[in-house]
A and B are shown apart, each in its own frame.
Chain A
Amino acid sequence: GAGVSQSPSNKVTEKGKDVELRCDPISGHTALYWYRQSLGQGLEFLIYFQGNSAPDKSGLPSDRFSAERTGGSVSTLTIQRTQQEDSAVYLCASSLGGGRGGYEQYFGPGTRLTVT
């Protein structure tokens, strides 16, 4: 079956511009996660959606970052006024459930963001 898909695969933007990154989770997966992978910081959790519950935004690095999940499916991560330190690979993952259920997270291929 189809896995997690992300678009675009690569994005180059100028400092100060806004960007939107999209994630299509596996059908039927109720939990969706965003992570960021960068050379200096490794793999970091950003935000978590589970069903209709309020998202866990505890990993968002600043208020320039926001995310939404529409209809319990597709998610968009928005970065406003991009900075060079935002350059990273943004990974999306989905799972059948969240919390302490121990569900396996399936990762998408990522979006490589470069801020010039």
Chain B
Amino acid sequence: AQSVTQPDIHITVSEGASLELRCNYSYGATPYLFWYVQSPGQGLQLLLKYFSGDTLVQGIKGFEAEFKRSQSSFNLRKPSVHWSDAAEYFCAVGANTGKLIFGQGTTLQVKP
């Protein structure tokens, strides 16, 4: 069955520190992978996506993610976190119909 696991429910980092949010997926074919961010009271915004090609993808707001087929992972990274990055982050895999299967989300708290 298709599924996405985000092992960390809550992460706290200091402003300026680096960030890595983990995502593991289960999908039979070549996956389409996405990271979305949801700020409090806001809708979902796409940070980046992977379809094929270069396994390191760059997104908005200084985020990047690396697709590792051997580990079934698509971890999100940022070298230096800003207070405005505090939000909930969702990893998702795109199924055949295009519908998204989401992980449970990781809430990021940024300490000043």
Contacts and interface: CB of A to CB of B under 8 A. Distances in A.
- Are A and B associated in one complex? yes
A4 B36 CA distance: 16
Contacts of A31: 98
B102 A42 contact: yes
Interface string B84-112: 00000010101011111111110000000
A100 to B, nearest CB: 6
Contacts, number: 62
Contacts of B45: 107
Q: How large is the interface on A (under 10, 10 to 19, 20 to 34, 35 or more residues)?
A: 20 to 34
B11 interface: no
Nearest to A104: B46
A104 B44 CA distance: 12
Contact of A95 (B36, B51, B98, B105): B98
Contact of A100 (B32, B44, B100, B102): B32
B98 A98 contact: yes
Interface of A: 4, 31, 33, 35, 42-45, 48, 50, 56, 59, 91, 93, 95, 97-110
Interface of B: 32, 36, 42-46, 49, 51, 90, 92, 94, 96-105
20 contacts: A33-B98, A33-B100, A35-B100, A42-B102, A42-B103, A42-B105, A43-B105, A44-B102, A56-B99, A91-B43, A93-B44, A99-B98, A101-B98, A102-B32, A102-B49, A102-B51, A102-B94, A104-B49, A105-B98, A107-B44
